[in-house]
Amino acid sequence: MQLRSHFALKQLGDISLFLGIQVLRTSTGYFLNQSHYASKLLNDAGYTDCKPALSPSSSPSKRTEPDRTLYSDPTLYRRLAGSLQYLSITRPDIAFATNAVCQHMQQPSNQDFKALTRLLRYIKGTLSYGLPITTGNLDLHTYTDADWASDASDRKSISGFCTFLGPNLISWTVKKQVTVAKSSTEAEYRSLSAAASEVIWLRRLAAELTLPQTKPTTIHCDNTSAMAIAKNPVFHARTKHIEIDYHFIREHISSGAIQLTHLSSKDQIADILTKSLSPARFNDLRSKLTIRSSNA
């Protein structure tokens, strides 16, 4: 009503479709998915009748050498990879696999296209999956993880973190780190710093939306060494190369904006954003990420 008193508005009723994202009203809130978009993507790729896969990516095989022959139709590869990026708006369960295939857009190989088709086969079996939005508390909490030196081509690590507002997943990131980490602790610490930056921004945004965070935002980390560095007021010479990240995190811990909490690796939800997993482990973390079928 306040906006209508200042601007000319047209009431279009309840939202049902926005930029290719379907919005379904449920008994507990809303459900966002892109099943129509995913179906069109599979049709364009010629994978409408493909055999579904249990997970979006498979672990690299050490027994067979990957086929590095350049793929014959790089334009098709780039179009499909770009479409997969848009699909990940409501499908964070494919974020890691999509990030991996998008790293080879310039010169995709047959092996890269094989990874892309594995992702398409997974989507085929999960067309109705999406992101629920339900009522609950409005406290922010974050999970952060890193996979140290996981890329065999350059030995850079992968950072992944996701943030929940109460029971709802609202933000997630998968990104290759820009420099090579010399230890798993350094890789985890850089991911922790990136997650802290995201949390500070989200806290400010929440305050603007009149959802102030009265308590420190918990960041869940499974690396005790990274947490020890963040909490230790004595800065060690051997960690001088990550001093900026150190001071950034320390400042926000001291101000009460964030707090670090350790959790076991098996409960680390951000694991799904940093590495290929077995189908059983993947399904467990996908459930914790709240991704589910609209029919569930």
pLDDT in tens, 9-33: 877 777 788 888 899 998 889 999 9
Structural domain includes residue 17 = no
Q: Which of 118, 33, 26, 106 is nearest to 70 (CA)?
A: 106
What does the block give as tokens for 126?
């999960």
Interval 130-152 mean pLDDT = 91
Give me the number of domains the chain comprises. Answer: 2
State residue 282's pLDDT score: 95
Structural domain includes residue 210 = yes
| Phi/psi of residue 53, nearest 5 degrees | -105, 155
State residue 32's pLDDT score: 95
Report pTM: 0.88
Domain around 42: 34-127
| Residue 117 pLDDT exceeds 60 | yes
Q: What is the pLDDT of residues 202-246, one digit of tens each?
A: 999 999 999 999 999 999 999 888 888 777 655 555 555 565 666
Cα dist from 160 to 84, 113, 168, 187, whole Å: 18, 24, 17, 11
Interval 136-153 mean pLDDT = 90
195 and 107, same structural domain? Answer: no
172 and 115, same structural domain? Answer: no
Look at residues 101, 127, 153 and tell me which one is the last residue of a structural domain. 127
Q: What is the pLDDT of residues 70-102, one digit of tens each?
A: 999 999 999 999 999 999 999 999 999 999 999
Q: How confident is the model at residue 48 (pLDDT cuts 50, 70, 90)?
A: very high
- If one compares 12 and 286, the residue with the highest pLDDT of the two is 286
